Amino acid sequence: MIEVRGLRKRYGRQVALESVDFEVPRGEIFGFIGPNGAGKTTTIRILATLVTADAGSASIGEISVADDPQGVRRLIGYMPDFFGVYDRLTAQEYLEFYAACHDVPRHRRARVARELLDLVDLADRSEAQVDTLSRGMKQRLCLARTLVHDPQVLLLDEPASGLDPRARYEMRELIKELRRMGKTILVSSHILPELEELCTWVGFIDRGRMVEVGPVEDVRNRVLTGRRLRVELVDDDEVKLLSARDRIADRKGVIAVEVVEGALEVAVEEGFPDQELLAELISAGVAVRSFAPITGDLSEAFLRLTAVPEQR
């Protein structure tokens, strides 16, 4: 649904994007991940037809962003990281205004606004002036604004920025509902645990280059190679932890053992017999509280993929 090939963009001597390639299949939620200044917002603005690329191509629904920007605009809903609102309009008037901007027929605008306010759980605030709404409510109203023309693709740049945990949860559930409605969604965020729950595909960008892209599970498996175990003892006394560490370290198949936050983290080879290690610890009189594999997450993948070259 979204296809980017060889995208390049410079601002003077500053390279914003360099040969960026990725695809977003129809109906997926694509998490666009990278440090500040990595090129996420520039890429999204190019897809939204607001910035022109220096080279390469981008298309949405097989329509070229460069050749037919108006055609692309009919397909997309764009929610920027910073957006303005018309404070003296009510929520209903605000959405009707944007429906008019998108050429929604006059007789349908009020109904579209009411349906969208209901979708984002703001129906009871339809007559409230926008400046009286909380930040979370304004974020949901802005998301509703992107939907007034029923776009197929949503480009959401940091939609949960500045929200409290409850408001972030509501935004996440709303995005899931939009996917169930058939939308293809590209969302950038720095709140990686929430992206892990939300996204089906991810793309990591660093210093203007895509460094990894694909289904979440595939990316996790490629980036977080090797297996790790976490062993917590009943008594986390440092002497006992170090003694258990030394006992484990010499075992065949153990790559490394570290004491991390009062427990042992053990890096092991593929095929390592976890149960034998547990049995050995218990037979040696080590009181084990918990023994479990560590599942790598997007935060760890982010740190590995965006490390400085000397640390890679």
Is residue 158 domain-resident? yes
Measure CA of the first residue to CA of the last residue in the chain; give whole Å: 33
CATH of the domain at 146: 3.40.50.300
pLDDT in tens, 220-268: 777 766 677 888 888 767 788 888 888 888 888 888 788 877 888 888 8
- pTM, full prediction: 0.78
Instruction: Give the type of residue at 30.
Output: F
pLDDT at residue 193 above 80?
no
Task: With respect to residue 280, please indicate whether it lies within any of the assigned structural domains.
Answer: yes
Which residues form the domain of 234?
225-295
The answer to whether position 311 is within a domain reads no
Same domain, yes or no: 233 and 199: no
Look at residues 184, 202, 222 and tell me which one is the last residue of a structural domain: 222
- CATH of residue 265: 3.30.70.100
Q: What is the dihedral of CA 240, 242, 244, 246, to 10 degrees?
A: -150
Write the pLDDT tens digit of every residue in 270-284: 778 888 888 888 888
- Asked whether residue 308 is domain-assigned, the answer is no
Q: Indicate if 153 and 19 belong to the same structural domain.
A: yes
218 and 230, same structural domain? no
Whether residue 105 is contained in a domain is answered as: yes
Q: Are residues 94 and 154 in the same domain?
A: yes
212 and 144, same structural domain? yes
Residues 210 and 280 in one domain: no
Spatial distance between the Cα atoms of 312 and 302, rounded to a whole number of angstroms: 12
In contact, 259 and 266? CB cutoff 8 Å: no
